[in-house]
Each structure stands twice: as structure tokens, then as C-alpha cells.
Amino acid sequence: MPLRLTPLEYLLSRLNLLPTPLFDTPLAVGIAKMLVTACELGLFDVLSERGLPLETLAEKLECQPQGLQLLLQLLVSAGYLRYHHGNYHNTRMATRWLTKESPMNIAPYVIHSPDIVAIWDHVTEVVHTNKQAMRMPYEEDASTPEAQQLLARHYAGLASLATALGGEIVHRVRVPEQAQQLLDVGGSHAAYSVLFCRKYPYLHATILDIEPGIVAGERTAKQMKLEERMSFVCSDIVKDDFPTLFSQPFDVALYFHIAHLLPPEMNVTILEKVAKTLRPGGVLAFVDQITDQTYGSRLASLMVQFMALTMTTVGGTCYSFPIVKRWLQQVGMEQIHSHRLLTPGATLITAIKKE
């Protein structure tokens, strides 16, 4: 964890003798900035094979040694690096979560995180008004180079999270072995579709998204050599009557991290369209930050609360399980269950289309 206290510091903190707000800011914010900088430099990848001394690292990263040392020392204190016999090494945590060779690499999400932090610049306004303060990146003009870069970072970040953490979702969704057709609604980067296609050998995934999302997804399909098992359909899931696009019913549909973008009535409208595309007995898997499914976990509560704040700022919100359950019943789904996941703050809800 970034803020690692010694036992004495922990005790003093519990006794309220340490100025705790100083750790939340500027310390936590500073560590976040150092981490993003290290990921952007590619520091953890340079160290992924073996530890290196300062001078070699500085040369490889094209940095001034004393300047780089300031960053390295902070990363040692924060638990991302280790300094041993004159060499800097990745810690186990950095190796697992921040290096390209690891299947759990979430460095692209870390690099995307300043875009999320920028949304929180509007927090005062939101607190005063409880109203949307800016538009979603998807609604912005995607023709400028800045907007394209932002969306590319966004989809790359989401793809890395899906690849690293999506395994347990795929494991928990019960899909018939012979299932052939999967619909990934707002599936953009296609990383969840990749995981399902790998597990179910007969599955073909159809990913529905806006143009920039599809560009990201096609890249993933190519990288994973799954182009033949994936189709991409450019469609506005809010406005388009997308069931008319498909002649065959789907066995499975994914509705992952879409609900929090939209008001309740729009979710019902889209879920109705999703349910229409499913065959009777077909499976709908729904993933989101669900407000009442935090199971007493502080990490889960923080994740869900931050998502609620972020989404309110861009015009969405987070919902409770009873609300989602009602929507799903309304559109003809049954056997609606909420599943606790290891990933803090994410909840999987599964439902079956009535026969």
C-alpha cells in the first residue's frame, strides 16, 4: 500500500497523535503523481528483468541521475521499489501489477488515472448543486488529437483492468459450454469478450460501441489473434434499435460498467433491447459499482463512493441492487443474483431470460 506505516507510526496514528490529514494530502496525492510519472517513464518495465544502479537507470530512461534519484527514493518509501547493494529493484507488488510482462499489468490504468482526477476538479460545484458539471469523454468531439489521446488512454486503461481483474467474472458467469453467440454492449476494448472467447471455444463475440471504442477493440482482437471470433458493430446503444441489427439470438449478453453512465429510464430502455436480443434461457451478466454491495469493506466503499461522485459529475450515478433487480425483472429476466467479487467495489449481477 502507498502509505506504509511502521508499527509505532500506526499506533501513534490510532491514538490520534499524528496529523493524519497531512498523509491524505499532500502525501497520498504526491505518491499518486510519482507513480504515474514512473509508469509513464516505463521505469518498472526497465527494471523487470533485474535490478539496476542509478546511473544505468538514468541512462536508459534519459533522465538526470540526481533528479531521477528523488523519484526512486520516494518509490522505495512507498513500497514500489527496493534498494539493495547499490541496485534498484521492483518489489513483488510492482512486478505483479505494473510490468508489461505480467498478465495483471494495470499500468495503463495508472497512466489514465490523472484523467479521472481531473474530473474531481469539479467536486465543489457538484457538492453545491448535485448536478452534472461536465460531459462524458464519449460525448466530446473525438476529432481533435487531444480528445483522441484521452480516449485512447481511457480504453487502454479499461482494457488493462478487464484483463487483470476480469478472470473472476468469467469464472462466476455460468455460460453453457456449447454457447455460440455473445453480445458485449458498450464493450469497446473487447478485453472481456477476449476472456469469454478464451474460456468458451465455440463462442463468437459481437461488440457494440461507438467508433473510438471500436478502434480500441479491433486493436485488441488483432493483438490477441481473435479477429475471426469477434465482430464489431458501430452503434449508439441509447438511440439505435440494435436488436434489428441481429438476425440470430445471443446466448450471453454483457452489460459491464454501462449502467452508471445513464439515468434509470435509459438503462431500462437499453436493457429491454438487450433482453430482446437474448434467446429464452440466455444469460445476462451485469457488472457495475453497486451502492449497497460493499460488504463492510472500506476499500469497496471508497471505490463505489468515488465512482458515484465521478459519475454524478459527468451526468451518471451508481445504483443499488434492488433498483437493478427491478429493471431486470421489468425487461423479462429472472433468477437475478448478485455475486460478491474479490475486486473491491465491483459487483456482478447475473440473470436469465424467461423461457
Ligand X SMILES: C[S@@+](CC[C@H](N)C(=O)[O-])C[C@H]1O[C@@H](n2cnc3c(N)ncnc32)[C@H](O)[C@@H]1O
Separation of alpha carbons 198 and 224, rounded Å: 10
Q: From the list 229, 257, 273, 353, which residue makes contact with ligand X (rule: CB under 6 A)?
A: 257
Q: Which three cell numbers stand for residue 268?
A: 431500462
Distance CA 184, CA 274 (A): 10
278, β-bridge pairs:
250
Residues 134-163 that bind ligand X (CB under 6 A): 138, 158, 162
What is the size of the binding site for ligand X (CB under 6 A)?
A: 16
CB of 238 to ligand X, least distance (A): 4
d(CA 172, CA 183): 17
Q: Which residue number, 122 or 260, has a Cβ lying nearer to ligand X?
A: 260
Q: Say whether residue 93 binds ligand X (CB under 6 A).
A: no
Instruction: By CB under 6 A, tell whether 306 contacts ligand X.
Output: no
Report the nearest approach of ligand X to the CB of residue 329 (Å).
Answer: 23
Helix H or strand E segment including 206: strand 204-209
Q: Is 345 in the site for ligand X (CB under 6 A)?
A: no
Considering only CA atoms, which of 192, 328, 163, 184 is closest in space to residue 252?
184
- Say how many Å lie between the first and final Cα of the chain, rounded: 48
Q: Is 256 in the site for ligand X (CB under 6 A)?
A: yes
Residue from 72, 126, 258, 271 in contact with ligand X (CB under 6 A)? 258
Cα angle 37, 41, 43 (rounded to 5 degrees) comes to 100
Q: Indicate the residue among 41 and 142 with the shorter CB distance to ligand X.
A: 142
Whose cell is 489473434? That residue is: 225
Q: Which residue, 95 or 206, is less far from ligand X as judged by CB?
A: 206
Secondary structure (3-state) at 35: helix
311 near ligand X (CB under 6 A)? no
Report the DSSP pairing between strands 333-340 and 181-185: unpaired
Stretch in the footprint of ligand X (CB under 6 A) among 175-183, 252-260, 296-304, 310-318: 252-260
Of the candidates 163, 179, 206, 209, which one interacts with ligand X according to CB under 6 A? 209
Binding stretches for ligand X (CB under 6 A): 138, 158, 162, 186-188, 209-210, 213, 236-238, 256-258, 261
